[in-house]
Amino acid sequence: KMKIAVTTTGNDLNSPFENRFGRAPGFIIYDTETKQFEAVDNSMNLNAAQGAGIQAAMNVIKAGAKVLVSGHCGPKAFTVLKQAEVKIFNANAATVSEAVEKYVSGMLIEMKSADVDGHW
């Protein structure tokens, strides 16, 4: 059973995929086994002066996701996620469901390090 977190600006599978991680308005937590999903609000981080990535990472971990699919991930968030053994995959997709499909079909490459600086 695997839960994956996908960054989004909406709250269902047809919502647009969001490239940013720390300042993503929310996440869809998708269960690859049951195909159920839940929306997790991350909007309190949108205006954070700093630490948005770390807070977003904590939200993903709290939701029980073992995989994050996003466009970019900064160094602090990357470190927090790695410590919690969350795998991070870089995607380019129009919607949440497209990002999920790319992950499930093995088209995404796991990120080995942060790919943007903090405060991006």
pLDDT in tens, 84-107: 999 999 999 999 999 999 999 999
What is residue 65's DSSP assignment?
-
Q: What is the pLDDT of residue 118?
A: 58
Q: What is the pLDDT of residue 50?
A: 81
* Torsion 100-105-107-112 (CA) sign: positive
Please state, in angstroms and rounded to a whole number, the distance separating the CA atoms of residues 79 and 108. 20
Q: What is the pLDDT of residue 120?
A: 45
Please give the structure tokens belonging to residue 47: 């205006």
- How many residues are present in the chain? 120
Rounded to two decimals, the pTM is 0.93
Please state, in angstroms and rounded to a whole number, the distance separating the CA atoms of residues 73 and 81. 10
Q: What is the mean pLDDT of the chain?
A: 92
- Give the residues of the chain that fall short of pLDDT 50: 120
Q: What is the pLDDT of residue 99?
A: 98
Please give the structure tokens belonging to residue 119: 């405060």
Q: Identify the CA nearest to 42 among candidates 34, 33, 31, 51.
A: 51
Instruction: Tell me if 25 sits within 8 A of 48, measured CB to CB.
Output: no
